[in-house]
Amino acid sequence: MGKITRRLAIGLTGIVGIGAVAYGGSLFACRFVPRKHPDFFALLNAVPDNAAARRIGRAIVAAGHAPADFDRLAALISQRPLIRTALSTDCPTTRKRLVQDQCSADFADGRMVSVDGWILSETEANLCAAAWLAEGETA
């Protein structure tokens, strides 16, 4: 292999620099994304806002897999380590990734719920239940 030329070194430095600026810029930009819900309701953005998710949530509560009291359910979900981190972050993208990682950890640890033919992580099931309960509170 030949020597590294000045042109190649400058090009590689430029590519690395552009990547670093883009990554740093995205982290910086996430700090200024306004939180619509500065509390537990912010996590509900990770659950699809549709009738199917609410129907699953209703079935989860009816089957006794989740408390029917919204405050108890919020406290239960907030005990998970990645969920606590998600609640304290302002970036919706990071929050969604943390919730997804907690759901993956639930599956890896065998924390799953089966309802109406669906196999869900406990976190995912509880968030669906919270979406259904939250709809009832706002209605």
Q: Read off the pLDDT of residues 19-45 as tens digits, 9 standing for 90 and up.
A: 887 887 777 776 665 544 444 555 656
Model pLDDT, residue 36:
45
- pLDDT tens per residue, range 62-86: 999 888 888 888 888 888 888 888 8
Alpha-carbon separation of residue 131 from 10, 32, 46, 105 (angstroms): 52, 26, 10, 21
Stated pTM of the model:
0.63
Residue-wise pLDDT for 94-117, tens only, equals 888 888 899 889 999 999 998 878
Nearest to 77 by CA among 52, 55, 60: 60
Looking at residue 74, its pLDDT comes to 84
Residue 48, phi then psi, degrees to nearest 5 = -55, 135
Q: Which residues are CB-contacts of 90 (< 8 A; sequence separation ≥ 6)?
A: 30, 31, 33, 35
DSSP for residue 4: P
| CB-based contact 123:109 (threshold 8 Å) | no
pLDDT attached to residue 37: 40
pLDDT for res 38:
42
Given a cut of 90, whether residue 55 has pLDDT beyond it is no
CA neighbours closer than 13 Å in the CB half-sphere of residue 115 = 24
